[in-house]
Amino acid sequence: MNIVVLTAAGSGTRMHQDIPKQFIHVDNKPIIVYTMEAFENHPSIDAIVVVTLESWKEVLYAYAKQFNISKLKIVVDGGSTGQESIYNGLKAAEKVYGTDGNTIIIHDGNRPLVSNEIISDALATYKQWGSAVAAIPCVEAVFSSEDGIHAKNSIPREELFRTQTPHVYDLKKLLWAHEEAKKKNITNTAASCDLMYKLGEEVYFSRGTEENFKITTVNDLTMFKAMLKTRRDEWIK
């Protein structure tokens, strides 16, 4: 099975809104629903697990019913860190579906513009290499700085890639990684690729895009609204 784990347990403090950012409505639809729809509509996805805030679990089920998200099978409480939240989602998937032959696609609940092409390429990369992390090349000049005031080193941008989600792994391998993290006291690695790298595993890139951005600020929300309008205009033409 191909099982999606959507992380949607953040409180959204950087958004400075009264509700978590993943539940903010854009054109009468919550952001998390746009994200779920992307995986609902992909033919290779079998089930969706959402990790969210305990007080929003029933609301999420209600939204899934309202917007016909039939692949939502599990909603589970988030943890105190991003790493713990992912682990909670993995354990919930293991409890229901077991580990044998199951692929996990981890995705940020507030990356609603993930496309069919990104999902398909991630699955194809995983099939070829055993893992996949959506990434895009860095196109700006990049410097390191110790004080945030002046540059220390210029880093060749052709060597740099910005990772996104989805991340695709074998469920059994991901559970192993999280158990190893506990043994080695590796905490708060919100990105699964970072955890895998720290455990000595290879990280393979699949295709990401600039459109597949994460909504964390009000400016991001404005960009999302503009992208939705642009997509509608293209469809009309």
Identify the pLDDT of residue 190. 78
Output the 3-class SS for 34-80. HHHHHHHCCCCCCEEEEEECHHHHHHHHHHHHHCCCCCEEEEEECCC
Burial of 73 (0-12, 13-18, 19+ CB in 10 A): middle
**Which among 183, 182, 181 is positioned nearest to 198, based on CA atoms?**
181
The pLDDT, as a whole number, for residue 232 is 60
> What's this model's pTM, rounded to 2 decimal places?
0.92
CATH fold of 2-143+151-236 reads Spore Coat Polysaccharide Biosynthesis Protein SpsA; Chain A (3.90.550)
Tokens standing for residue 178: 């999280």
What letter does residue 109 receive in the DSSP assignment?
A: T
- Residue 39 in tokens: 């995986």
Residue 82's pLDDT is 92
Residue 57's nearest CA partner among 78, 30, 36 is: 78
What are the structure tokens assigned to 56, written together?
């929003």
**Res 98: pLDDT:** 95
- With a CB cutoff of 8 Å and minimum separation 6, the contacts of 145 are 151, 152
pLDDT at res. 150: 87
Q: Say what the pLDDT of residue 17 is.
A: 66
Tokens read off for 15: 């958004």
Q: Using CA atoms in the order 228, 40, 121, 22, what is the torsion angle rounded to 10 degrees?
A: 50
Tens-digit pLDDT profile for the chain (237 aa)? 999 999 999 765 555 567 888 999 999 999 999 999 999 999 999 999 999 999 999 999 999 999 999 999 999 999 999 999 999 999 999 999 999 999 999 999 999 999 999 999 999 999 999 999 999 999 988 998 888 898 888 988 888 999 999 999 999 999 999 999 999 999 888 799 999 999 999 999 999 999 999 999 999 999 999 998 887 655 544
pLDDT at 236: 47
Tokens of residue 11, six digits: 């409180």
Separation CA 201–CA 5 (nearest Å): 21
Which among 69, 68, 62, 165 is positioned nearest to 113, based on CA atoms?
Answer: 165
DSSP run (H or E) holding 135: strand 132-137
